[in-house]
Structure 1
Amino acid sequence: MEVSDKREEAVRRILNGFSPQDYSLPEDFVLTKLTGMKGCGCKVPREILLELLKTFGSEVVVDNDAVGIGLDSCVVPLRHKGLNLVQTTDFFYPLVDDPYIMGRITCANVLSDLYAMGVVDCDNMLMLLGVAVDLNEKERDTIVSQFIQGFKDAADLAETQVRGGQTVRCPWLLLGGVATSVVSNEELIRVDRAEPGDVLVITKPIGGQAVVNSYEWLKKKDTKIEELGLEPAKIVRAFQQTCEQMARLNRNAARLLHKYKAHSSTDVTGFGILGHADNLARAQQNRVDFVIEKLPIIEYAEEVANKMISAGGEGFRLFKGTSAETSGGLLIALAPENVEGFIREIEELDGFPAWVVGKVVARDESSSEIPNKAYISEVFTTECVKSRIHQN
């Protein structure tokens, strides 16, 4: 299958939907029954994780040319002058029922940690797979082969290869991988150089957790659909958009980090836009805060969250900026003069827009003992993002 065909294959399968009978699976088979959690929503809460990581005895995230615990990938200067090892690992549970699309999403999510550091080319990938013990042989062989194919097709689009990994039996279906690259100093983006006046840009909208869960309610004929007055057709469209963007690589964004001289970047996943912005803010050399002023939200996710809040829930904490995303976009700090060009070019390359979501501000000099942070300003707007997957 040619590269262009592999791009089209993901969209075609998303729009057609997954039919278990096409793979000789039971009509009622759903991949997500093999887990109690979904995607990056399985992460240990950020506050707990930060406390546990104190065991390592260092709060320094970026130390000269090395990047350690707390950001997307480790960056380790090698003994060979001018070269660095960049490596990341990630794994989670299924959040869609098509194992092929789940393979694409998993690979894209793993690679995204490299792309957030400005690494465009991945040298090697490993695949991690925990096969649920509840699967019979037919289900196991079908799911694993489709997942591997999806993972491989995404790796092919990234122009890298899968050269190994680990497969074990698990109580739940577990999906993940490792991405590794050896790069020169020039191939990296220093992610700790945000300056006051920088503009924050994100390359994919948020709201995936609300969409995936509402789609799950729809499949299971959950009473929440009627109780909240949700519209099935709109849920399906939102789910298709969410699948497309989760399966889409952040590679073009990584290239543009260099062209437009990004000062800082991270990818938005399980801790939500605010959680990852806060991680990034804490790593900055300058005394700065990241202020989130605007939340671009996937079509219909805003309405789902609002109706849940009206019914007494939290709306997946979407408007608080901590709703979990899986294989989300890059959050980038750019000099103001570079924003327009970046946004224009990423839309030309990916076919989907990016958004200005906030700014970098100087910290109050009197708060010397308080680390840099990110926060959502009291007044912010949300916007429903219309998907182009149905137009392309």
Structure 2
Amino acid sequence: MSDLSSVNHQINPENIKVSLSQKSTMDSSTNNQQEFQENQDTTNEQTNGNENQEKSDDHTIPAVENTTEIYYPFDPRDHGLDENFSMINYGDIRDKLIHPGHHDIQAFLTTFINTQVDRPITLLTEETTIMKLSNNDYYLLETSNFITPMLNEPYYIGKTAFVNVMSGIYALGIAECTTHRMAISIPSTIDIPTRNIIIPLITQGYLDAATDAHVSVQGIRIINSSSFLIGGNATSIILEQQILRRDIACPGDIIILTKPIGTSVAIALSQYIEDPVKRNEIIKKIKLSDVLDAKYRALDVMVKSNLYPAVLMRKYATHAVCEISTHGLYGHADVLVKKQLQPVDFVINNLPIISKMDMVAKLVGLSGQFLTGRLPEISGGLLVVMSKEHGIHYCQTITQTYGGQAWIIGSVEPGNGSVLIKNLPKIINVPDMEQKSKKH
């Protein structure tokens, strides 16, 4: 990985743009979707009204407040800390971004599963497992995840950590959470007064995100370690019929992505510009205001829950789905396509990205990895496979009802279990979001 991730980051509040109406977000999503459909062979015909939609099942879609997140950059001085304090100094971004490949993890977990003869486990994703409980018809779904501070934003790191944990459950279309515990690993090098300021901010962000998702957090575990890690563990006890099938993609289906990619590039860029030499190199190609816009668009992506898009999948007969996170778009799609019962390929022709991050990736030598979906995402979206007809309605509903965004990025074709990303995919630049100010 480039040394993008090693530079500390501090934001000047005077550079933050303010205010954005939700309508502009919805309009940009609609316009992008229309432009996208004009260039995508699989979506060149619009369906009318609600024709052929499936009726919603008994799974209730939680109420979602249709508002834009309000941000305010964390200033250590507001909390009695030294102005040079940064959570990033206590994180371990490089180790998080250079994650073991999904093939390595798959091999390890396959070996592990083969030893569990008494309690068979079905692997769903790298972080999520499901196990049939003894002597009844219920299953235990369990997921856990952790992130390291990639920004000096304690409150929003807490929110991101919660969203990241719950995505493993949401990727199965499950909204209910039976138990949820938060966990924080605190660097032993950070002094107690600083801990007493930072930990409550992280925890408040985590709990606020939980409240928004109608999840009760039963407890928190705090341990000492060499670096910051924030995350948790969530479980859900469910009946088998509540689990969405993830292995029935068929030729003619379309592939949808519910969040743009580019979070790791945008976040790393916001740190990169703090080095004067590297900053001069960057601003020759991209404006400083664009860097800040990208950083806050990435933050908006990271704290946005996958709850609503996940539950909505039940209404539109999802054939396959996975979350996009540590292993990037390609890595997670590759695991998913190999689970399909039919011999198919996932063909990806379009990439919705945080605005201008393709330019930045090229500037720092990561263009090849970025344009093939091989860079990690931080609290990314869902990759959803549906029929063309249902998929178009799914995207429209997310935009018009939820105020979110979703893009049709490709199609399912007959094949041999491969992910094929077009050599020069069509780039959809997701506009940056202006930010309102709010202190935490």
- Residue 233 of structure 2 is aligned with which of 174, 178, 192? 178
Q: Aligned residue for 1:367? A: none
- Per-residue deviation, 1:164: 2.3
* Cα gap change, 1:193 to 1:41, in 2 (>3 Å): same
CA contact (8 A) 2:293 2:433 kept: no
Q: Which residue of 1 aligns with 2:403?
A: 351
Q: CA deviation at 1:76?
A: 1.8
Alpha-carbon deviations, 1:197-252, whole Å to 9, x = none?
A: 1100000000011101110112x334222123232111101111110110011000
The gaps in structure 2 that reach 5 residues or longer are: 1-61
Alignment check: 8 A CA contact 1:92 1:175 kept: yes
Q: Give the match's secondary structure for 2:88.
A: helix
Q: Which of 258, 282, 288 is equivalent to 2:338?
A: 282
Q: 2:287 aligns with which of 215, 227, 231?
A: 231
1:347 and 1:241 map into 2 onto residues whose CA distance is 17
2:176 aligns with one of 111, 121, 145: 121
Report which structure shows greater RCO (CA 8 Å, sep ≥6).
2
Counterpart Cα distance in 1 of 2:66 and 2:151:
18
What is the CA-CA distance between 1:83 and the residue it aligns to?
2.2
Aligned to 1:11: 69
**Partner letter of residue 225 of structure 1?**
R
CA shift for structure 1 position 307: 2.1
Of 400, 424, 429, 1:384 maps to 429
The one-letter code of the counterpart of 2:344 is V
CA contact (8 A) 1:200 1:358 kept: yes
Over residues 164-194 of structure 1, what are the superposed CA-to-partner deviations in whole Å (9 max), with x where a residue is unaligned? Answer: 2421111111111111111223322111111
One-letter amino acid of the structure 1 residue matched with residue 134 of structure 2: R
Between the aligned partners of 2:228 and 2:66, the Cα distance in structure 1 is 26
Alignment partners' CA distance in 2, 1:300 and 1:201: 21
Q: How far off is 1:315 after superposition?
A: 3.6
C-alpha contact 1:210 1:316 (8 A) present in aligned 2:
no
Which sits farther off after the overlay, 276-285 or 159-168? 159-168
5+ residue gaps, structure 1: 60-64, 365-371
> What is the DSSP-based 3-state SS (H/G/I as helix, E as strand, rest coil) of the residue aligned with 1:144?
helix
Show CA shifts across 1:264-318 (max 9, x none): 100100111010000111111111111111111001212211222xxxx224821
In the TM superposition, 1:149-228 aligns within 5 A as 149-218=204-273, 220-228=274-282
**Separation in 2, partners of 1:287, 1:150:** 43
After the TM superposition, which of the residue ranges 221-230 and 154-163 deviates more from structure 2?
Answer: 221-230
Instruction: Name 1:369's counterpart in structure 2.
Output: none
164-173 vs 234-243, which moves further: 164-173
Residues 1:73 and 2:131 aligned together? no
Find the aligned partners of 1:37 and 1:391 in 2 and give their Cα distance.
28
User: Which one of the candidate residues 144, 152, 167 is aligned to 2:199?
Assistant: 144
Cα deviation digits, residues 342-381 of structure 1 (max 9, x gap): 00111134323210111111126xxxxxxx2222133421
- CA deviation after TM superposition for structure 1 residue 6, in Å: 9.4
Q: Assess if the C-alpha contact under 8 Å between 2:361 and 2:367 holds in 1.
A: yes
Offset of residue 58 of structure 1:
4.8
The two structures, once aligned, show a CA RMSD in angstroms of 2.6
With structure 2 as the length reference, what TM-score do the two structures score? Answer: 0.78
Partner of 1:32: 88
**Helix, strand or coil for the counterpart of 2:408?**
strand
Aligned to 1:258, what secondary structure does the other structure show? coil
CA contact (8 A) 1:134 1:171 kept: yes
Deviates more, 1:165-174 or 1:34-43: 34-43
Question: How do 1:98-137 residues align onto structure 2 when only pairs under 5 Å count?
Answer: 98-137=153-192
Is the partner of 2:346 in helix, strand or coil? strand
CA–CA distance in structure 2, aligned partners of residues 147 and 349 of structure 1? 30
Is the 2:66–2:403 Cα contact (8 Å) retained in structure 1? no
For 2:228 and 2:127, the matched residues in 1 are separated by: 24
* Mapped partners of 2:324, 2:77: distance in 1: 35
Distance (Å, rounded) in 2 between the aligned partners of 1:223 and 1:183: 54
Scaled by the length of structure 1, the TM-score of the pair is: 0.88
Aligned to 2:11: none
1:38/1:147 CA distance change after superposition, 3 Å: farther
Counterparts of residues 89-100 of structure 1 (less than 5 Å): 89-100=144-155
Please give the secondary structure, in 2, of the residue aligned with 1:11. coil
Taking only the aligned residue pairs, the percentage that are identical comes to 26
Verify the 8 A CA contact 2:321 2:384 in the aligned structure 1.
yes
Amino acid at match of 2:145: D
Aligned partner of residue 283 in structure 1, secondary structure: coil
**Greater shift in the superposed pair: 181-190 or 139-148:** 181-190
- How far is the alpha carbon of 1:142 from its aligned partner? 1.1
Please tell me whether residue 298 in structure 1 is matched to residue 350 in structure 2: no
Q: What is the distance in 2 between the residues matched to 1:139 and 1:7?
A: 35
Measured in 2, the distance between the counterparts of 1:128 and 1:357 equals 35
- 3-state SS in 1 of match to 2:78: helix
Distance 1:40 1:341 in 2: 36
Residue matched to 1:20? 76
Contact 2:399 2:406 in 1 (8 A): yes
d(CA) in 2 for partners of 1:326 and 1:204? 11
